[in-house]
């Protein structure tokens, strides 16, 4: 097996025994990026000199006996994470020239452990999208079928794993933006509980929904990455001060007696037949492992998409007001005054989907509509959260599909926003509830496209969903399937 195709734990074992150096692994990964990037478009910025320097520093740590499990591991970040001295665009023209003066806490934690930064990954502009088609820097393609989307908004983060361009990556999940691309690209993606991972230094889309999480080749790597970035951060007022467990210790391989809930609202008639079949097979695997199934109801699921597109767009309208051409980012030339500069800078800098969401959010927050839309959406959000909490009184984990279909064709839904928004129907409720969930590979469609299984856990129940995902992974071979690139 090639160096670029190994997991974090496999590479760490090899580096520890000095069979391979971080510089060798990093150069193999950079060569892989060179070989396939033109076909995939996972990256916005590649940092080869920085990567080799990081790798050399990592090798010195191994020589000194000061190595961590992430030391020398080549990683990449969604271009929503601030990285001091490295271009950070958030997939938008309005930030095409922005080089931040400080780094996100999550990246600082990885850097402190000796991880190697390969570069910054493509994404939907300001993380607004389900297909990675709205980036100002081009569409990312799915390594399993380059005519199809990789999912979004963390499409570059998932496609880089599937194309073996990084050992692990970080993305963000506001309404499914880690889990949905993980499902479409055949990798593991975890959205932690809101407050589990610091959002400091992450460019905001919807502040009450955004959460940082890993995308990896297997569940063990996912546990390693989550353990590295989780924890309280005084710089983030929404960060929760609760101990971080050893997530890898939770991977026992046993789910005997685990109570798994099956919500009737998620197993609907419109579900793709291949997705339906994969879910049925997954349920069979868990039964054979000794898990118990319970039929449950999450009755307010039907309102989740509408609720999300009021709350998320309202918060986006507020958060994106700072992009005005004054302090940083794109400034329009030839403006005749301050208002003209604001208007031209924002008109030129923002893409169509971002403009759409800003307008939706501004409308929902406007005088006369605030109570009718935004306040009502917040009330429904509470009902959705209550649905989950009541369900978890009787079950340990909830099992659902990640997406209603496998990856769709590039361009298929770009002109139909409602159809695009509905592709996140099974992931959005988790963000509204603020709890945790992950996607683990669970099958291939009749066309050979990956299908993911979603496991939803209680708040701060990441250990349980990782244990359940790991047991499934050990009993199947879906995570070993590779994109035919």
In tens, the pLDDT along 20-31 reads: 999 999 999 999
Q: How confident is the model at residue 348 (pLDDT cuts 50, 70, 90)?
A: very high
Q: What is the pLDDT of residues 210-256, one digit of tens each?
A: 999 999 999 999 999 999 999 999 999 999 999 999 999 999 999 99
pLDDT of res. 293: 98
pLDDT of res. 6: 97
d(CA 401, CA 267): 8
Q: Which residue has the higher pLDDT, 472 or 417?
A: 472
Q: How confident is the model at residue 422 (pLDDT cuts 50, 70, 90)?
A: confident
pLDDT of res. 418: 82
d(CA 154, CA 140): 10
d(CA 247, CA 436): 14
Phi first, then psi, for residue 231 (nearest 5°) are 125, 160
Q: What is the pLDDT of residues 96-131, one digit of tens each?
A: 999 999 999 999 999 999 999 999 999 999 999 999
Tell me which residues are annotated as active site: 78, 153, 177
Mean per-residue pLDDT, 259-274: 94
Q: How confident is the model at residue 270 (pLDDT cuts 50, 70, 90)?
A: confident
Mean per-residue pLDDT, 32-46: 98
Q: Is the confidence at residue 415, as pLDDT, over 90?
A: no
Q: What pTM value is reported for the model?
A: 0.97
Q: Provide the greatest CA pair distance for the chain.
A: 71
Q: Is the confidence at residue 343, as pLDDT, over 90?
A: yes
**Collapsed DSSP state (helix, strand, coil) of residue 366:** coil
Length of the chain: 485
pLDDT of res. 268: 85
Percent share of the chain, pLDDT over 70: 100
d(CA 286, CA 334): 63
Out of 139-148, 204-213, 267-276, least confident range = 267-276
Q: What is the pLDDT of residues 403-413, one digit of tens each?
A: 999 999 999 99
Domains and CATH numbers, the chain: 3-259+395-480 (3.90.1300.10)
Beta strands in 244-287 (DSSP E): 259-263
Angle of CA points 80, 86, 90, to nearest 5°: 20
Dihedral sign, CA of 111, 469, 387, 425?
positive
pLDDT of res. 425: 94
């Amino acid at each position: 097996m090639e160096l670029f195709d190994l997991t974090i734990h496999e590479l760490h074992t090899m580096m520890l025994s000095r069979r391979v150096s971080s510089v060798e692994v990093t150069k193999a990964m950079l060569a892989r990026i060179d070989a396939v990037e033109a076909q995939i478009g996972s990256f916005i910025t590649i940092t080869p000199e920085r990567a080799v320097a990081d790798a050399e520093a990592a090798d010195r740590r191994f020589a000194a006996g000061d190595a961590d499990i992430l030391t020398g591991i080549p990683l990449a970040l969604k271009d929503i994470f601030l990285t001091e001295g490295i271009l950070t665009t958030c997939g938008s023209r309005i930030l095409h020239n922005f080089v931040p003066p400080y780094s996100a806490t999550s990246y600082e934690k990885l850097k402190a452990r000796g991880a190697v930064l390969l570069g910054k990954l493509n994404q939907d502009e300001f993380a607004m999208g389900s297909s990675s088609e709205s980036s100002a820097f081009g569409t990312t393609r799915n390594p399993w079928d380059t005519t199809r989307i990789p999912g979004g908004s963390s499409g570059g983060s998932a496609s880089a794993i599937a194309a073996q361009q990084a050992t692990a990556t970080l993305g963000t999940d506001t309404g499914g933006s880690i889990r949905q691309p993980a499902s479409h690209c055949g990798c593991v993606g975890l959205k932690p509980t809101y407050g589990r991972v610091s959002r400091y230094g992450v460019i905001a889309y919807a502040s009450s929904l955004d959460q940082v999480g890993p995308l990896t080749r297997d569940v063990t790597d996912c546990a390693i990455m989550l353990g590295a970035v989780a924890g309280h951060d005084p710089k983030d007022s929404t960060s929760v001060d609760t101990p971080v467990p050893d997530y890898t210790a939770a991977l026992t391989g046993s789910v005997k007696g685990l109570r798994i809930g099956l919500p009737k609202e998620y197993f609907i008639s419109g579900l793709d037949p291949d997705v339906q079949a994969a879910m049925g097979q997954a349920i069979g695997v868990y039964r054979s492992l000794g898990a118990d199934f319970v039929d449950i109801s999450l009755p307010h699921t039907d309102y989740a998409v509408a609720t999300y597109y009021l709350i998320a767009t309202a918060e986006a309208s507020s958060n994106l007001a700072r992009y005005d051409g004054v302090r940083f980012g794109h400034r329009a030339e030839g403006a005749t005054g301050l208002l003209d500069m604001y208007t031209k800078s924002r008109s030129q800098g923002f893409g169509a989907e971002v403009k759409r969401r800003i307008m939706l959010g501004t409308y929902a927050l406007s005088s006369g509509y605030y109570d009718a839309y935004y306040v009502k959406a917040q009330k429904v959000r509470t009902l959705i959260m209550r649905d989950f909490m009541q369900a978890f009184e009787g079950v340990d984990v909830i099992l659902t599909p990640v997406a209603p279909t496998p990856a769709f064709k590039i361009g298929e839904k770009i002109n139909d926003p409602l159809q695009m928004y509905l592709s996140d129907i099974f992931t959005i409720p988790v963000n509204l509830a603020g709890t945790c969930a992950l996607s683990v590979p669970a099958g291939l469609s009749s066309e050979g496209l990956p299908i993911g299984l979603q496991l939803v856990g209680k708040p701060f129940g990441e250990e349980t969903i990782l244990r359940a995902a790991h047991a499934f992974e050990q009993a199947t071979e879906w995570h070993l399937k590779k994109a035919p690139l």
